[in-house]
Amino acid sequence: MRVLADGEPHDAGDILARAQTLGLLPQSTTRKYMYIALHEYVERTRGAGRDPEFVQVSALGELAREFTSETGIPVAAVLDGSQRLAEAVEREVFAIAAEAFANIRQHARASHVDLSLQRCDEGVRLTIRDDGVGFAPDHDRGGRFGIVGMKERAAAAGARLAIESGPETGTLVEIRLGPRG
């Protein structure tokens, strides 16, 4: 895996896509390793003298580009990295975003996704909205841990997580972090 993460994220994606095309890795494994490569890229660039705001925005932007590349579903991204997040919080927020995109890919049947990272009065707000089939958020999904994991990660980051959805209304995932997040 180290070799895959030594280049820029799109290089790792190209290598992983080739491995998947050759049948060396199943599609789900490819996505898993791509996210690992992105995490390693974020950690590597942090120590390489790059602007930390760039790293945060870059990782989310790469996540959106990879999602579109894999699914064909366009993502409109508005990413403002002017509010710096603590490293541990940034990792949790990225993991929540990755899970939201995985849920869209697997369940939503969406044709468009909006991704926004912006400063707000309370600090920082990350939103991911799709125009898919939606779901009943209070419905027990039995054996599904994606949303549970998102809630746990938000709590660990000191963030508020809100998920709004309903049948045929799409889904909105919103994370709000205080100014010290």
With a cut of 60, say whether residue 47 has pLDDT above it. no
pTM: 0.71
Neighbouring CB atoms inside 10 A of 69's CB total 12
SS3 content of the chain, % helix, strand, coil (to 5): 50, 20, 30
pLDDT in tens, 87-113: 788 888 888 999 999 999 999 999 999
List Cβ neighbours of 60 (8 Å cut-off, separation of 6 or more). 77, 79, 94, 97, 115, 117, 126
pLDDT in tens, 57-74: 778 888 899 899 999 999
pLDDT value at position 5? 40
Whole-number Å distance between alpha carbons of 90 and 123: 14
Q: Tokens 């994991």, residue?
A: 149
pLDDT in tens, 148-160: 889 999 999 899 9
Whole-number Å distance between alpha carbons of 16 and 39: 15
